[in-house]
């Protein structure tokens, strides 16, 4: 069995994948989720993130920072 690899080409991310994509620690993602600051949804007990929504969120954050 091969070790699991982060697939950043998938349209749906896990917490680990979105943290790798954003280059932040997983605890940062959980903190953003708790605040309702990052778009995501629960699938059972796990969080999932749509890549397009994350890209849109990044653009919004960038625009806000440059205002």
Tokens coding 13? 């991310």
Q: How does pLDDT run across 9-31, given as a tens digit for each residue? A: 789 999 999 999 999 999 999 99
- Quickly name the fold that domain 12-65 has: Multidrug-efflux Transporter Regulator; Chain: A; Domain 2 (1.10.1660)
Domain ranges of the chain: 12-65
Q: Would you say 48 and 40 are in contact if contact means Cβ atoms under 8 Å apart?
A: yes
Q: Would you say 15 and 29 are in contact if contact means Cβ atoms under 8 Å apart?
A: yes
Q: How does pLDDT run across 19-64, given as a tens digit for each residue? A: 999 999 999 999 999 999 999 999 999 999 999 999 999 999 999 8
């Amino acid at each position: 069995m091969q070790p699991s690899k982060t697939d950043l080409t998938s349209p749906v991310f896990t917490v680990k994948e979105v943290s790798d994509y954003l280059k932040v620690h997983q605890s940062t993602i959980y903190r953003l989720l708790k605040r309702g600051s990052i778009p995501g949804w629960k699938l059972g007990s796990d969080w999932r993130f749509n890549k397009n929504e994350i890209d849109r969120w990044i653009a919004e954050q960038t625009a806000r920072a440059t205002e």
